[in-house]
Amino acid sequence: ISIAAGIQLSHLGLWAGEELAIVRAMPNTPALIQSGATALCANQYTSETQRDLAETIMRSVGLALWLDDETLMDAVTALSGSGPAYYFLIMEVMEKAATRLGLSQEHARILTLQTAFGAAKMALESNHDTETLRKQVTSPGGTTEQALNVLMSGGIEDLFAEALKAAQERSAELAASLGGE
Q: What 3 state SS string does the chain have?
A: CECCCCCCHHHHHHHHCCCCCCEEEECCHHHHHCCEEEEEEECCCCCHHHHHHHHHHHHCCEEEEECCCHHHHHHHHHHHHCHHHHHHHHHHHHHHHHHHCCCCHHHHHHHHHHHHHHHHHHHHHCCCCHHHHHHHHCCCCCHHHHHHHHHHHCCHHHHHHHHHHHHHHHHHHHHHHCCCC
pLDDT in tens, 63-84: 999 999 999 999 999 999 999 9
CATH for 51: 3.40.50.720
Range of the domain at 119: 83-166
Tally the domains of the chain: 2
pTM given for the model: 0.91
Residue 5, pLDDT score: 84
The answer to whether the CB of 168 falls within 8 A of the CB of 74 is yes
pLDDT in tens, 10-52: 889 888 877 899 999 999 999 999 999 999 999 999 999 999 9
Residues 96, 158: one domain? Answer: yes
What is the mean predicted confidence (pLDDT) over 100-109? 99
Residues 121, 158: one domain? Answer: yes
Q: 58 in a domain, yes or no?
A: yes
- Through-space distance between the first and last CA atoms of the chain, rounded to whole angstroms: 20
Residues 65, 101: one domain? Answer: no
